[in-house]
Structure 1
Amino acid sequence: MWKEFKAFALKGNVLDLAIGVIIGAAFGKIVASLVSDILMPLVGLLLGGVNLSGLTFTFGNATLNYGVFLQTVVDFLIISFSIFLFIKGVSRFKRKEEEVKPEQAPLPSNEELLLAEIRDLLKQNAQLNKPEA
């Protein structure tokens, strides 16, 4: 059982996935800091000093913190847009890399060459033996 687990855990796909999760978490922290520490204070200045997270609505004994919800939605939109731009940049880089290395058609095998030669001879023979009208 240990050998099977070791073979599974050390497969390339599992390691790639683990690395992707770790890098994604770190990237998420960077973008979250960008949103909360740089962008949202600027948005607050543009909106006249409004802090979205402080917006509340009291209904009886319940307090609805809709500002926190709005802040979370804005954070999500900015984070998802930045991830979109990052993935778009990476895919553009991959596309350029693929364009540099054009795929060559595999050379035909000896068997395929021989079959093509036989086909050509049969066509040629059929044309020579064709009755003329």
Structure 2
Amino acid sequence: MFQGFKDFIMRGNVVDLAVGVVIGAAFTGVVTGFTNGFIKPLIQLMGGGKGLEKGTFKINGVPFDWATFINSLITFLITAAVLYFFVVLPLNILAERRRRGEEPPPKAPAEDIVLLTQIRDALVAQSSPTRGYGDTPGRHQQEPPR
């Protein structure tokens, strides 16, 4: 039971996914800190509000914090742009290079393919209806006369 779990965890794609999630969360924290510390105050200054009302408006005494929404939108756009330009685009370029410069197929089939082909041919020869008694697999002879 533990061996199966260990095999699952040690797969490359699971470890890569975990690292990606942790780095993504840390990066989102950095971008959120930047936008909360620098962008949101600028939005509130542009809103012209004073005191506690900057970046908000009230309808029937209920405050609507539009600066936080704009800030979240900017956070999303910065995060998406960085991920696209530093992760997605380089991986797409790498995939395109690999696709253009595909390696030629191997000259001879791999050893395991040859072995599997021999096993397949032997199984086909054993199940062949024209195979005679005492015949070796792979050799087709007519059945002895009756």
Normalised-by-shorter TM-score class: 0.5 to 0.7
Bigger mean CA offset, 81-90 vs 48-57:
48-57
Q: Distance in 2 between matches of 1:17 and 1:63?
A: 40
Question: Structure 1 30/64 Cα, relative in aligned 2: closer, same or farther at 3 Å?
Answer: closer
* TM-score with structure 2 setting the length: 0.53
Q: Which has the larger radius of gyration?
A: 2
Instruction: Say whether the 8 Å CA contact 1:35–1:78 is kept in structure 2.
Output: no
Q: In structure 2, what is the equivalent of residue 50 of structure 1? A: 46
Q: Distance in 1 between matches of 2:102 and 2:64?
A: 58
Q: Distance in 1 between matches of 2:91 and 2:44?
A: 39
Across the aligned residues of Structure 1 and Structure 2, the Cα RMSD in angstroms comes to: 3.6
Q: In structure 2, what is the equivalent of residue 23 of structure 1? A: 23
Question: Structure 1 82/54 Cα, relative in aligned 2: closer, same or farther at 3 Å?
Answer: farther
Alignment gaps of 5+ in structure 1:
112-133
Write the deviation string for residues 78-129 of structure 1: whole angstroms up to 9, x where unpaired: 22122211124422552476379641122255x9xxxxxxxxxxxxxxxxxx
| Correspondence list, 1:1-133, <5 A | 1-37=1-37, 40=39, 44=42, 49-50=45-46, 54-91=54-91, 94-95=94-95, 98=98, 102-108=102-108
Question: Structure 1 84/68 Cα, relative in aligned 2: closer, same or farther at 3 Å?
Answer: same
Counterpart residue type for residue 60 of structure 2? G
Counterpart residue type for residue 30 of structure 2? I
Q: Distance in 2 between matches of 1:86 and 1:103?
A: 27
Identity of aligned residues (%): 25
Instruction: Say whether the 8 Å CA contact 1:54–1:68 is kept in structure 2.
Output: no
Structure 1 or 2: more helix by fraction: 1
Structure with higher RCO (Cα < 8 A, 6+ apart) = 1
Question: Structure 1 16/48 Cα, relative in aligned 2: closer, same or farther at 3 Å?
Answer: closer
Bigger mean CA offset, 60-69 vs 100-109:
100-109
Counterpart residue type for residue 6 of structure 1? K
Instruction: Say whether the 8 Å CA contact 1:55–1:65 is kept in structure 2.
Output: yes
Counterpart residue type for residue 56 of structure 1? T
Q: Distance in 2 between matches of 1:21 and 1:90?
A: 19
Count of matched residue positions in the alignment of Structure 1 and Structure 2: 106
